[in-house]
Structures are given as C-alpha cells and as structure tokens.
Structure 1
C-alpha cells in the first residue's frame, strides 16, 4: 500500500487537494452555465478542470522521476497539450445556425478558461485559480445582463415604450 501512495514530487494529500480545488473552480463556472440551461453545464466544467489538474500533476510527477536528464518530461509541453485539447473541446461548444449566426462562443471560451483554472490548481497556484474562477463567472453573469440591455435598446419598440426592457 505504501508503494501505491509513493510520489516523487507532490505528496498524495496535496495532489488530492489540488484536484478538489480544481473541481471547486469548475463548479463556480459550471453553476452559471447550468442555471442558464446552456448545453455545456456543471458536470462538464468540473470534469474539464479536474482533468486539467490531473494531467498537470501527472506531468510534474513524470518530470521529477528518477530518469536520465535527457529522458525527462517537460511539464511545459504537458500544459501545451492541455491548452490545445481544451481549445478543441471549447470549439465543440460553438454552433453555427442556418442563418450564419454563431452561438456558444461564451461557453466555448469558458471551457477553455476552465482548463486554465485546472492547470493553475494542478500547479498549486490557488491564488491565481480562485480569482480567475470568480472573475470569469462575473464576466459571464454581468456582461450577459449588459448585453441583454443593449440588445433591448436596439429594439425599435424600446423607445416607444419609454425605455422599458424588452427581450
């Protein structure tokens, strides 16, 4: 059992804390998307963050294993792979409709940001991950409200109704 819990670089308890922190950050963004009934929701955001943290931790462990210097893994390359993979995953959330309108751009971008939060948690950079999660959630919430108001103002009936909000 001891051999199973043996790590070269990050103690098991700390690794689990990092993965749980990533899940929490994913929850923050996923909750916003879930409450708004977006196609990409809570489970996806949590899994993206957890996956990014796990890959980051695994890359760091591999980099610090006893191996000849020329055979070691560069954790930066692991992170590069994560960035590309979650960019691809985020692109999958974007849908083009028949009238050439794009939807899901915010969900796609939020998926990519969630990957970055997972990487930050995997690296133990909680001071970066939590403000990033809260800031991204604020952007999704506040700017959607502002965007709704500006769209309503473009409606010709807006001025006729004395500036009342139409959707």
Structure 2
C-alpha cells in the first residue's frame, strides 16, 4: 500500500503551485490569442488556441521534470532542449496544416495556422517559466491579429464575410 501511495505522491522538482501557475498562464495567453480568431469566426478559435498553448506548456513542464529525474541522471542520457522545440513545432505544424486549404485558386487558413503555431510557442515559453517571452509573444500576436484585421477592413483589402449562403469570401483566415 505504501508503494501505491508513493507512486501518486507529488514527486516533481517544481512545486505543484509553480506548475499550476505556468499551466494557467498558458491557458490565459492561449485564450487571448484565440479570442480574435473566435471573433473572426474561424474553425480554430478560442478553445483550440487555449488547448494548443496548454499542451505546449505541459510538454515543457514534463521536459523539465524528466531532466531532473534521477533515473535520467546517468552520463549516457543527454538532454537536448532543442528537441522539445522541434517536437512541438512539428506537431503543431501538422495540426495547423489541417486548417490551410486551397480552393478555387485561393489559400485560406494561413492566419489561423500561424496563430496556432504562435500559441504553441507561447505555451512552451510559459511552461518553461519564460514569462517575458510568453507575455510579449502573446501581446504582439494579439496586436497583429486585431490591428491587421482592422486595417485590412478599413483599406478594403478583403471583402466582408458572406454569411448569406453565397460564395465564400477570400479571407485568409
């Protein structure tokens, strides 16, 4: 019975409160990035960006914990933090590619895909406790999404969305 209790006892090097804050901040920042996509009525909106950001933060925390585990302290085991970045980037790129479509000579979904990629990077930074990078990435990403959409609308660079059942607009979304 003691072995079972020990199995589920907190054995992380980071205090659970730090882990909780990192994951919560990742969810918050992902929500900020996804909010604009939600307003633009895109398929990958608020929840998707929040989950991508959270998942990246979880992977970052797991990587930190793995490196600190005694079983991996052997000289034969080498930690390469770049592999974490590569794995998250590849995984999210695959997910984001699913939102990019080519239809009738138009490419759609690039902005949504890029937003998901940024959410992953932001979550990775939050998960690693790199607060300045996570905050600035989120702020600048949200600024680009909101201001550029407004500018495109004002300059009439993109036609308004067609909600009336006719042909879809050519927004990159």
Per the alignment, residue 121 of structure 2 pairs with 116
Per the TM alignment, residue 69 of structure 1 is displaced from its structure 2 partner at its CA by 2.2
- 1:100 matches 2:105: yes
Q: What pairs up with 1:70-109 in 2 under 5 angstroms?
A: 70-97=76-103, 99-109=104-114
Per the alignment, residue 45 of structure 1 pairs with 49
Deviation track 1:59-92 (CA, whole Å, cap 9, x = no partner) reads: 1111111131212443321221011111111111
Per the alignment, residue 137 of structure 1 pairs with 142
Per the TM alignment, residue 42 of structure 1 is displaced from its structure 2 partner at its CA by 0.7
- Segments of 5+ residues of structure 2 without an aligned counterpart are 160-173
* Counterparts of 1:118 and 1:152, CA distance in 2: 32
- SS of the aligned residue for 1:124 comes to coil
- SS of the aligned residue for 1:37 comes to coil
What is the RMSD of the two structures over their aligned residues, measured on CA atoms? 1.9
- SS of the aligned residue for 1:69 comes to coil
**TM-score by structure 1 length?**
0.84
Instruction: Summarize the Cα distance change of 1:71–1:120 in structure 2 as closer, same or farther, 3 Å threshold.
Output: same
Whether the aligned pair in 2 keeps the contact of 1:50 and 1:118 (CA below 8 Å) is yes
Match of 1:62 among 59, 66, 72: 66
**TM-score by structure 2 length?**
0.81
Whether the aligned pair in 2 keeps the contact of 1:64 and 1:72 (CA below 8 Å) is no
Per the TM alignment, residue 152 of structure 1 is displaced from its structure 2 partner at its CA by 5.2
Whether the aligned pair in 1 keeps the contact of 2:152 and 2:158 (CA below 8 Å) is no
Whether the aligned pair in 2 keeps the contact of 1:63 and 1:74 (CA below 8 Å) is no
Instruction: Summarize the Cα distance change of 1:125–1:84 in structure 2 as closer, same or farther, 3 Å threshold.
Output: same
